[in-house]
Amino acid sequence: MNAVQSTNPVISSDRVEGTTVYNPAGDKLGSIDHLVIDKRSGQVRYAVLEFGGFLGMGTDRYPLPWSVLNYDTSREGYVVPLDKARLEGAPRYAEEERPTYDDDYGRDVYDYYGARW
Amino acid sequence: MNAVQSTNPVISSDRVEGTTVYNPAGDKLGSIDHLVIDKRSGQVRYAVLEFGGFLGMGTDRYPLPWSVLNYDTSREGYVVPLDKARLEGAPRYAEEERPTYDDDYGRDVYDYYGARW
């Protein structure tokens, strides 16, 4: 059953949403809040990591390229290449904001993670 | 505001999920339950229409190619090219089932809607 699941080529959006995200050191960073999809092509542009939200303060959101999400079956969560120093400089926005999500923004985000825009 | 939204090139997965789906005659067919995403490429393979569920009976689910969803701002929902006759023959599965979602299945679904696999 696990072998079948791990080789399943597709995943449901509602299984991605809410999945925990860890850094390579095993620290829990947050969870995937939602996906951002290109309307025309149906391509997932970003998986948005929600992070923070202490003592009633708002959360920060980090748009991640889909390709940086690596599912770790032992942790039942995604591991992303974001150590603490890298997290500080990562593109983010406050929960109540909304990025433009235009090509310039996309290139900046993808460049940060070394992903191809 | 509406003009800005309608030209926005991206959409959030949680805005797609739950959106009502109509046929071209204006009949409500159901709503989008979830998206099925290719793990490797991040491409949305299907938007799954949930339909039925009367008197406690289970619902049927219809995987639709992303490209057949046309958002109608006046109805605040998607219009899909499924008249009643076409709906009867459309690929579907019961709620408790799960398709294989392999390439053969994908080609069948896409062919049914005249979409390119």
Question: Could you report the per-residue pLDDT of B18-61, keeping only the tens digit for each?
Answer: 999 999 999 999 999 999 999 999 999 999 999 866 655 668 99
Measured at the CA of A102, the angle between CA A100 and CA A108, to 5 degrees, comes to: 100
Query: Strand, helix or coil at B4?
Result: helix
B47-63 b/e (C-beta count within 10 Å ≥ 16 → b):
bbbbbeeeeeeebbbbb
What lies within 8 Å, CB to CB, of A86 at 6+ separation is: none
Q: How far is CA A89 from the centre of its chain?
A: 15
Q: Which residues of A touch B101 (CB under 8 A)?
A: 8-10
Asked if B48 contacts A19 with a C-beta cutoff of 8 angstroms, the reply is no
B93/A contact by beta carbon, under 8 A: no
* pLDDT tens-digit map of A17-27: 999 999 999 99
Rounded percentage of chain A residues whose pLDDT exceeds 90? 71
Question: In the block, which residue shows the tokens 């923070």?
Answer: A52
Residue A15: closest C-alpha in chain B? B34
Question: Position of tokens 């990591």?
Answer: A49
pLDDT in tens, A36-52: 999 999 999 999 999 86
Size of interface A-B (CB pairs under 8 A): 80
Q: For chain A, first and last CA: distance in Å?
A: 35
Distance between CA atoms of residues B32 and A44, nearest Å: 17
ipTM over 0.85: yes
B87 has pLDDT over 90: no
H/E element, B106: helix B103-112
What pLDDT is stored for residue B45 in this prediction?
A: 97
Q: What is the pLDDT of residue A57?
A: 63
Q: Which of B1, B5, B6, B13 to mutate to test the interface with A (most CBs of A within 10 A)?
A: B13
Instruction: Show Cβ contacts of residue A85 under 8 Å, excluding neighbours closer than 6 positions.
Output: none
Confidence of residue A82 (pLDDT cuts 50, 70, 90): confident
This prediction has a pTM of: 0.89
Q: What is the mean pLDDT of residues B109-115?
A: 95
The three-state secondary structure class of B104 is: helix
Asked if A37 contacts A59 with a C-beta cutoff of 8 angstroms, the reply is: no
Burial class (CB in 10 A: 0-12, 13-18, 19+), A55: exposed
Q: How many CB atoms lie within 10 A of CB B68?
A: 17
Question: Is residue B5 pLDDT above 70, yes or no?
Answer: no
Residue A63 has pLDDT above 90, yes or no: yes
Instruction: Answer whether B13 touches A (CB < 8 Å).
Output: yes
Judge whether A13 is closer than 8 Å to chain B, CB to CB. Answer: yes
* Average model confidence (pLDDT) across chain B: 89
* Chain A residues with beta carbon closer than 8 angstroms to that of B14: 17, 33-34
Report d(CA B24, CA A101) in Å as an integer. 31
Alpha-carbon distance B83 to nearest alpha carbon in chain A (angstroms):
24
Rounded mean pLDDT of B92-103? 91
Percent with pLDDT over 70 in chain B: 88
More confident residue, B6 or B105: B105
pLDDT range class, residue A3, cuts 50, 70, 90: very low
What pLDDT does residue A22 have? Answer: 94
